[in-house]
Amino acid sequence: MDQSKIDAAESYFSEGYSCSQSVLAAYCEEFGLEKETAFLIASGFGGGMGRLQETCGAVTGAFMVLGLKYGYFDKDNKAAKEETYAMVQKFAGLFEERNESIKCLDLVGVDMRHGDLVQAMTRVKEICPKLVKDAAEILEELM
């Protein structure tokens, strides 16, 4: 297990990057993706995708990493497509085992769009560091 990737993801989050940005950036250079580009790509996925509180940002960041590792660009590469989807599903299952959900609203427990945003951001600071760490640890297990 590469503890430096886990530490990097945690560090990016503590610096103020979103969950998704933190996870993707910790791994991006390993796959030839510049860090600034990773931050840009993942910037809309925080808060469960633009604060829609759908799929957790740490999870979507991990899905992007899995795409970099197992993904495909040849539309006819059915085997790579199936492997990528299988790895995403495996990751989601392992993340759910640890956290009971992959949905941001379930994990944070406060509505970021219609509820108390200050309370929501407090919960994010309490809960999301663990979710980022979990995502990176699971990636380390899978890769």
**Tens-digit pLDDT profile for residues 5-25:** 999 999 999 999 999 999 999
Provide the mean pLDDT of the chain: 95
**Tens-digit pLDDT profile for residues 115-132:** 788 888 898 899 999 999
Q: What is the C-alpha separation between 53 and 48, in angstroms, rounded? A: 4
**Tens-digit pLDDT profile for residues 27-69:** 999 999 999 999 999 999 999 999 999 999 999 999 999 999 9
Judged on CB neighbours under 10 Å (0-12, 13-18, 19+), 110 is middle
**Average pLDDT rounded to a whole number, residues 80-96:** 97
- What token pair was written down for 114? 């219609």
